[in-house]
Chain A
Amino acid sequence: MTHHTPPPALAGELRRLTVLELSRGARAGYVCLLLAASAMTAVVGGLLLTEPSLPPRTSIALAVMVAIGLSWVCFAAWVLTRRRILLGKDRVVAGRMAVAFNSLFVAGCVLAAAITGAASAFAAMALGLVMLGVAGGLWIRARRQFEHLTARRQQLERELARG
């Protein structure tokens, strides 16, 4: 049976597609969007939870902002898992970014709580600590997976070298 020869331009087209799909900038952008949306949601959510005396209109506005923030969080998470996938190295970098970003956020909340003593600052700090825990967990998991893949790669290379 004859094989169908691929069109000469196909391999080049697929490489171009790969570069577009795995564009570092686009994926880093979605990681930043995820982190920023999470922080905004934590701050506004903290304010909403700790200020019962807010006028109804303000409460509604804050609730809408929380909903918008959560939507962005979900959207960025969906894109990063389905469209702009994160590979081994990317996940470690994203995990590190998340830990650094959330640490800064928690530090800011601590400072705000110390200066103002506002309940909303404490609430945002609590949410920030939760997010920091999640980020730390994801970072550790990403590092373990990266180490596992690296070890497997070295093992396979040794097997191939032995023939």
Chain B
Amino acid sequence: MTSPPPHDTGDELLAVRCQLGEAAAFDDLIERWHGPLWTYIRRVVGDEDAALEVVQDVWIKVLRGIPKLRDGSKLRAWLFGIARRTVMDRLRERYAGPLETEIDLSEVAADTWPSHDEHELQQLEGALARLPAVERDVLTLFYLEDLTLADIGEALKVPVGTVKSRLFRARRMLREAMNAGGAQP
């Protein structure tokens, strides 16, 4: 399943059609976005039954909130922002404690997903599943859903610098988890 590219004109058109009240536009919205949102929610929540509940909550919020979406070109970030907040509400008890650290931000932006080997990918999946939800969340949005740093900032309601710091920390934790499991990230 491939996510649509960021800042797609088609996304803005879809948002505008929904805001106008065109019934078919909501079918198209579901058709286009339920897969990527499901992948994200399923990965961060971890459990399929819980993910099914969360995904329905997310869509209700999307349907009720879409008239208030001011900039349709930000549909992607807006959708993932709703998904993320809904997931966080569900997992709130696992999100205690300070998150940000001072780091070298220049190391983060050029990073790409480190491996394409099938065996290592499976190890990565396992390591990712063991990460705390905040770190799993930001890695999923950046590497798997292809959101830009700015879009993630929009979705998480945090500055881009914070996104970078979370990504940096998440990568480090993933590397540690991989090392502990005997693989190199």
Residues of A whose CB lies within 8 Å of any CB of B are 1-7, 10-11, 13-15, 17-18, 21-22, 82-83, 85-90, 146, 149-150, 152-153, 156-157, 159-160
Please tell me if B43 contacts chain A, counting CB pairs below 8 Å. Answer: yes
Q: Are B13 and A10 in contact (CB under 8 A)?
A: no
**Bound-state Cα–Cα, A26 to B121, Å:** 49
Q: Are B16 and A149 in contact (CB under 8 A)?
A: yes
Nearest chain A CB to B157 CB, angstrom units: 20
Q: Which of B10, B20, B21, B30 contacts A18 (CB 8 A)?
A: B30
Q: Are A13 and B64 in contact (CB under 8 A)?
A: no
Q: Which of A3, A7, A11, A88 contacts B20 (CB 8 A)?
A: A88
Segment 2-43 of B: residues with Cβ below 8 Å from A = 9-10, 12-13, 16-21, 23, 26-27, 30-31, 34-35, 38-39, 42-43
Q: Are B64 and A160 in contact (CB under 8 A)?
A: no
A83 partner residues in chain B, CB cutoff 8 A: 64
Residues A7 and B52 in contact in the complex (CB < 8 Å), given A21-B64, A85-B63, A160-B9: yes
Q: Are A88 and B19 in contact (CB under 8 A)?
A: yes
Q: Which of A22, A88, A152 contacts B26 (CB 8 A)?
A: A22
**Bound-state Cα–Cα, A155 to B128, Å:** 42
Residues of B whose CB lies within 8 Å of any CB of A are 1, 9-10, 12-13, 16-21, 23, 26-27, 30-31, 34-35, 38-39, 42-43, 48, 52, 55-56, 59-60, 63-64, 66-67, 72, 113, 121, 124-125, 128, 143-144
Determine chain A's interface SS by DSSP, over half rule. Answer: helix
Q: Are A17 and B20 in contact (CB under 8 A)?
A: no
Nearest chain B CB to A92 CB, angstrom units: 9
Q: Are A10 and B34 in contact (CB under 8 A)?
A: yes
Residues A159 and B9 in contact in the complex (CB < 8 Å), given A10-B55, A22-B23, A87-B20: yes
Q: Which of B9, B39, B72 contacts A3 (CB 8 A)?
A: B39
**Bound-state Cα–Cα, A128 to B37, Å:** 47
Q: What are 19 sample pairs from A and B whose C-beta atoms fall under 8 A apart? A: A2-B125, A3-B144, A4-B38, A6-B35, A6-B39, A11-B31, A13-B56, A17-B59, A17-B63, A18-B63, A87-B67, A88-B67, A89-B20, A146-B20, A149-B16, A150-B20, A152-B12, A160-B9, A160-B13
Residues A14 and B67 in contact in the complex (CB < 8 Å), given A3-B144, A5-B1, A88-B20: no
Residues A10 and B64 in contact in the complex (CB < 8 Å), given A22-B26, A156-B16: no
